[in-house]
């Protein structure tokens, strides 16, 4: 049995240069198989994830597009119900900005493959990131390019362009991915935030009796405990470890043996959300009413974001 400190890491603030590598890093966290990452392993791995329909992982690949008015307006022809996972706003001038993740665009396409804006997005993404879209084949339809005089081209916005948008547009179209190392209790609170994508270390697939984990469960100790209370908990956790190992040695699978594991078990969880949702999360989870172990990671994260993107986060007050 080991203990580690809680923490966080901003995986990818603004860069979207290698989306497939980013997805591999995130999805492998579920199985704790990051040691298998090599030069080009991401393509086969993510292809397998998509084929197995583990599409929640591709929610961490987020894209923003600028459309001219005509093409952008065709988004409004979609059923309102299909729009719930994409963001759609007017741009600075006549144009429209649409952002969302690979899964959201794919799901809309599956229901309405005729929509000209969605078809254009999917055609573009399929060519740029084929591994994410092997199971669909959008046509290049007349009207989505300069072939049609009425329609100017649409384009994907780069990170720098998104950062250069007015604040109100950045809130909706700029996304941030953060990895947290926390206990299972805190992670359970994090996933209550609905407007985000998640990937979490799996107690179903990770076998903590294995050599990969040095045959040891890992725990997060609360800073709120006295030394005496820490020791007392440790005695209890050793017994938990023994029982977990025993059940595994008796042939139970990790997903069944996990029933014995405590809430203090260390977990890793990746969260991707737009800046509007991060503001909401950070306001709630840094407040005095939030769990102390939640504040332990959210307050430093907010401080870092205040430095990195002050225009978005500066007004959120921290009550220490
Ligand atoms: C101090 C504290 C104590 C808590 N105690 C409890 C508790 O005892 N029990 C418990 O069950 N939970 C508890 N929670 C969790 C809480 O109920 C929320 O589930 C969690 O904070 C997610 O935040 P949210 O619902 O505001 O918004 P998110 O899920 O982050 O969504 C962001 C915003 O989107 C909108 N939105 C999202 N989904 C919907 C929807 N379906 N309908 C309408 N609008 C929507 C809302 O405007 C919302 O503010 C607690 C949270 C805190 C911070």
Whole-prediction pTM value? Answer: 0.93
> Which atom of ligand 1 lies closest to the CA of 290?
1
Q: Is 139 within the bounds of a domain? A: yes
Same domain, 272 and 207: yes
> Which atom of ligand 1 lies closest to the CA of 284?
53
Q: What is the CATH number of the domain that holds 233?
A: 3.30.1360.170
CA-based R_g, the chain, Å: 22
Domain that includes residue 84, residue range: 61-157
Same domain, 148 and 202: no
> Which atom of ligand 1 lies closest to the CA of 291?
1
Q: Is 28 a catalytic residue?
A: no
Residue 44 burial by CB count (10 A; 0-12/13-18/19+): exposed, middle or buried?
Answer: exposed
Ligand 1 pocket residue status of 289, Cβ below 6 Å: yes
pLDDT digits (tens, 9 = 90+) for 124-142: 899 899 999 988 887 665 5
Report the distance separating Cα 27 and Cα 33, nearest Å. 9
Q: Is 188 within the bounds of a domain? A: yes
Task: Measure 33 CA to ligand 1 centroid, in angstroms.
Answer: 32
Say which residues have a Cβ less than 8 Å from residue 197's Cβ, sequence separation at least 6: 56, 59, 60, 101, 271, 272, 273
Which of 128, 157, 186 is at the close of a domain? 157
Which of 81, 87, 186, 194, when mutated, tests ligand 1's pocket best, judged by the most ligand atoms within 8 Å of its CB?
Answer: 194
Ligand 1 pocket residue status of 195, Cβ below 6 Å: yes
pLDDT digits (tens, 9 = 90+) for 175-204: 999 999 999 999 999 999 999 999 999 999
Which of 130, 157, 184 is at the close of a domain? 157
What mean pLDDT is predicted for residues 204-219?
94
Ligand 1 pocket residue status of 84, Cβ below 6 Å: no
Ligand 1 pocket residue status of 192, Cβ below 6 Å: yes
Ligand 1 pocket residue status of 280, Cβ below 6 Å: yes
Report the distance separating Cα 87 and Cα 246, nearest Å. 49
Q: Is 85 within the bounds of a domain? A: yes
Which residues lie across from 274 on neighbouring strands? 175
Q: Is 31 within the bounds of a domain? A: no
Residue 224, pLDDT > 50, answer yes
Q: Is 43 within the bounds of a domain? A: no
Task: Measure 268 CA to ligand 1 centroid, in angstroms.
Answer: 21
Same domain, 132 and 208: no
Strand (E) or helix (H) holding 23:
helix 19-31
Same domain, 7 and 110: no
Secondary structure of 182-229 in HEC code, one letter for each residue = EEHHHHHHHCCCCCCEEEECCCCCCCCCCHHHCCCCEEECCCCCCHHH
Number of structural domains in the chain? 2
């Amino acid at each position: 049995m080991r203990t580690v400190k809680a923490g966080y890491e901003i995986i990818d603030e603004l860069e979207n240069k290698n989306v497939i590598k980013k997805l591999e890093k995130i999805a492998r966290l579920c199985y704790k198989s990051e040691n298998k990452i090599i030069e080009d392993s991401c393509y086969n791995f993510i292809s397998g994830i998509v084929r197995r329909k583990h599409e929640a992982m591709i929610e961490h690949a987020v894209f923003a597009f600028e459309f001219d008015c005509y093409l952008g307006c065709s988004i409004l022809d979609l059923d309102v119900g299909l729009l719930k996972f994409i963001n759609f706003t007017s741009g600075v001038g006549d144009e429209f900005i649409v952002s969302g993740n690979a899964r959201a665009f794919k799901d809309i396409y599956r229901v309405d493959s005729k929509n000209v804006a969605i078809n254009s997005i999917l055609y573009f993404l399929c060519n740029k990131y084929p591994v994410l879209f092997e199971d669909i084949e959008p046509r290049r339809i007349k009207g989505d390019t300069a072939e049609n005089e009425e329609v100017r081209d649409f384009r994907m916005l780069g990170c720098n362009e998104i950062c250069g948008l007015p604040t109100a547009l950045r809130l909706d179209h700029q996304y941030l991915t953060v990895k947290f190392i926390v206990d299972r209790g805190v992670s359970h609170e994090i996933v209550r935030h609905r407007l985000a994508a998640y990937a979490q270390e799996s107690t179903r697939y990770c076998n903590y009796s294995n050599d990969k984990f040095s045959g040891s469960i890992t725990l997060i100790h609360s800073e709120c405990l006295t030394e005496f209370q820490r020791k007392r908990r440790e005695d209890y956790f050793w017994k938990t470890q023994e029982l977990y190992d025993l059940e595994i040695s008796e042939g139970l699978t990790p997903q069944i043996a996990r029933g014995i594991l405590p809430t203090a078990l260390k977990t890793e969880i990746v969260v991707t959300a737009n800046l509007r949702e991060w503001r909401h999360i950070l306001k709630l989870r840094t407040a005095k009413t939030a769990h102390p172990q939640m504040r332990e990671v959210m307050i430093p994260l907010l401080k870092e974001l205040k430095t990195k993107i002050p225009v978005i986060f500066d007004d959120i007050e921290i009550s220490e």
